Amino acid sequence: MSRLWVRLRWPLVFLGLALVWLLPLMARPDGFPLWVGGGYSDLLVSHWPNAHWLRRSLVEWGQIPLWNPQILSGAPFASDPLSGLWYPPVWLAPWLPGALGFNLLFLIHLAWAGLGAARLARDGGVGWAGAAVAGIVYSGTPKLIGHIGLGHLGLVCAASWTPWVLVAARRALEPAVDDPRSRRKAAALAGAALGAAFLADPRWAAPTGLLLLVYAAFVMMRAPARPAGWGRQVSGRLLILGLSAAGIAAALALPLLSMVPLTTRAVLTGADRAALSLSPAALLGLLVPDLGGWAERLAFAGVGALFLAVAALLTRARGAWFWAGVVLVGWVLALGDHTPLYTLLARLPGFDLLRVPARFLLISVLALACLAGLGLDALLSGLADRHQVALRLGFVAAGGVCLLLGLAGASIVGRDAAGFWGTAVLGVLAAGVGWASLSRRVSARMWSAAWLLLVVGELAWVDSSLLTVRSASESLGARGALIRSMVASLEPGQRAFSPSYSLPQQAASAAGVELADGVNPLQLTAYVQAMRQAVGIEDTGYSVTLAPFPSGDPAVSWGAEIDAERLGRFSVALVAAEYPLSSPGLEEVSEDEGVWVYRNLRVRPRAWLQDTEEVASTWSRVDAWEWSPNRIQATARGPGVVVFSEVVFPGWQATVDGEPAPLLVIDGVLRGVRIDSGAHIVILAFRPLPVFVGAAWSLLTVLAILVWRMRA
């Protein structure tokens, strides 16, 4: 029993701390966490609908869905990082009510992040108290909690793997002649952790990989002695690390690599990449907490952590200047195009697809967490005794800065100055605890407890201001009456479109309504171009929404000009908007609660027959039509071209009466198959080679690592 407690105590501690960071969720664990400053969340818009679609596909058709018809008139599910298909923990979510599964994922990954940061600090020579501080600072950083409010499930999961990548890499790359086999296994685990981060959020794998390279160089440069053949051994371990990472990531990487060139993401401009840069003024948030602030702008990681970081630097703790350098570089990169460094980095493959520089602050937070752990360790050891004067002056100076900044800011801001008052109070408290902890009259355990309480308290205070919780029924039932009435009037296969996001994706998904609009960072270029013509969208550059909302408010009209004929080719039967529309071919059905609903009189079915490959105004319905996620079947009598109101994408294969047939591209975006005279059965099957190769490669890699780990 005692041995079990020793193994479980730290996981339980960090699980308990994760509950503290997510305290607003405890009253309604199945509710959806939202940022207090806004009503939108990727958890609602993308992750829940994708989980719902995964469950529905498994239950209704017995298929793992490779295609997703829910938004944008259909898009590849297996290539979409937001699907969660290739990150196994996400498979928990579809089977639990409301957001309970997602909230458990957030809880577990926050604990995993804390454990990883603590282990990283511990392996760097820090004592348990310092390691605990490192884990607390990283897992409880307001930036991570803020991203939970924005529903960024993939980012939170991926960031939790970052410290573990470094932990395993350190064990793999430290020079040692003993047990080289275990070092190679550590290299494989480091690669597996990096691959897991990629599966959770490919965008975060690039910063993690960059940090891994820098940290690996640091570990190797610090080596006091290098045994013979060490360079060859390190090269071999790095190769194992790379192969392991590539193998784990392959299930998502190969489909994603084949998809990205076909999306609007492939043509990001420099302005697109730097659109969410942190402003230099926002760095004030390092000392002043932005209570209820937007996650992409949050910089606060704790006054206590900054004081301990100062202590690490003043005592010249081993490794302190490396972590300080990482902190600084992370801050500079977060500034985006305000400095040339990010502009240069954005030219590298992989980094050229990133567009939120401010997220590099998470790298700074991890480095600051390790620096804070070093600082507390120094204060509790004899190292502090040799730097008493410098530490006392440093604490007084830092406390004075916080006090003056807090008082000055509070006097200027007046109302809503809680953050500035907090800086003043926390600065004085940290300076007092720091000064007192230099005394040896009280035990080191007492002072370590004081520092831990200070760090936990300030993070819990700020974190509690970031989240609110909305019940599952309220979140999933938005516009419920409107959508239920639309479901009743839609024929099988017909879609809806809203230029004002009047049909929330989560509510539409719950009701089984397929949308021609949608929110997703990966949108097929051919479809976007077709929809620009169909609804009058101006080419204003990259957007995660279709239609884009130039004012930022979906309810504000952006001048949609509906071409009912073109929209009808995507089987759009109903159009709903927050404002009245006027277009030939649209007939007003109702106006209720500020939403106008129109019927498209020129809607086409999901499959029809026309004479030629050219867009035709004359057409006839096919005799029969069946749809499932990875297979579509139509029965039609030729001659002619069977056109499917489905977006063309590599991997779809056609057969006519069981024989392979060419798949035609109709109107630049739809699928078509030519048939001869007589009745024919046309089948479209989705068999994307990158998906199958990637999945097989990942499975073999996992099995190889497991077998290797189990062998003596």
Query: In this structure, are 529 and 555 located in the same domain?
Result: yes
pLDDT for residue 2 = 65
Helix (H, G, I), strand (E, B) or coil at 172: helix
Helix (H, G, I), strand (E, B) or coil at 479: coil
| 232 in any annotated domain | no
Query: In this structure, are 552 and 415 located in the same domain?
Result: no
What residues in the chain have per-residue pLDDT under 50? Answer: 1, 177
Query: At residue 359, what is the residue type?
Result: R
| 119 in any annotated domain | yes
| 52 in any annotated domain | yes
d(CA 597, CA 600): 10
CA trace torsion 380, 383, 385, 391 (10° rounding): -80
pLDDT for residue 627 = 93
pLDDT for residue 108 = 96
End residue of a domain, out of 424, 442, 468: 468
C-alpha of 259 from chain center? 18
Query: In this structure, are 290 and 144 located in the same domain?
Result: yes
| 702 in any annotated domain | no
Tokens at residue 189, please? 């685990």
Query: In this structure, are 384 and 428 located in the same domain?
Result: yes
Query: In this structure, are 483 and 362 located in the same domain?
Result: no
Residues across the chain: 712
**Domain count within the chain:** 3
Q: What is the pLDDT of residues 369-416, one digit of tens each?
A: 999 999 999 888 877 777 888 888 888 999 999 999 888 988 887 667
Query: At residue 97, what is the residue type?
Result: P
Query: In this structure, are 505 and 592 located in the same domain?
Result: yes
| 669 in any annotated domain | yes
Domain containing residue 492: 477-600
User: H-type helices in 490-562, by residue range?
Assistant: 505-511, 525-535
End residue of a domain, out of 578, 600, 622: 600
pLDDT for residue 228 = 64
Q: What is the pLDDT of residues 33-79, one digit of tens each?
A: 999 988 789 999 999 999 999 999 999 999 999 999 999 999 999 99
Q: What is the DSSP letter of 334?
A: H
Q: What are phi and psi of 672, to 5 degrees?
A: -145, 155
Query: In this structure, are 642 and 596 located in the same domain?
Result: no
pLDDT for residue 415 = 65
CA-wise closest residue to 674 among 614, 617, 624: 614
Strands 652-656 and 495-497: unpaired
Q: What is the pLDDT of residues 197-246, one digit of tens each?
A: 999 999 999 999 999 999 998 988 876 666 666 677 788 889 999 999 99
Query: In this structure, are 639 and 582 located in the same domain?
Result: no
| 188 in any annotated domain | no
| 22 in any annotated domain | yes
For the chain, the farthest-separated pair of C-alpha atoms sits apart, in whole angstroms, at: 98
Q: What is the pLDDT of residues 525-561, one digit of tens each?
A: 999 999 999 999 888 788 999 989 888 888 898 888 9
pLDDT for residue 361 = 94
Q: What is the DSSP letter of 46?
A: I
In CATH, what number is assigned to the domain containing residue 636? 2.60.40
Please report the beta strands in 544-669, taking only residues with DSSP state E, as ranges in sequence order: 545-546, 572-577, 586-592, 595-600, 607-610, 620-621, 624-628, 631-647, 652-656, 659-661, 664-666
Query: In this structure, are 481 and 574 located in the same domain?
Result: yes
CA-wise closest residue to 45 among 505, 477, 509: 505
| 660 in any annotated domain | yes
Query: In this structure, are 145 and 25 located in the same domain?
Result: yes
Q: Which helix (H) or strand (E) holds 684?
A: strand 670-686
pLDDT for residue 132 = 95
Query: In this structure, are 592 and 509 located in the same domain?
Result: yes
CA-wise closest residue to 21 among 124, 134, 139, 105: 139
pLDDT for residue 117 = 97
pLDDT for residue 411 = 84
Query: In this structure, are 310 and 452 located in the same domain?
Result: yes
Q: Name the average pLDDT for the chain.
A: 91
pLDDT for residue 138 = 97
End residue of a domain, out of 431, 447, 468: 468
d(CA 436, CA 200): 44
Q: Which helix (H) or strand (E) holds 673?
A: strand 670-686
Are 614 and 501 in contact by the 8 Å Cβ rule? The answer is no
pTM listed for this prediction: 0.95
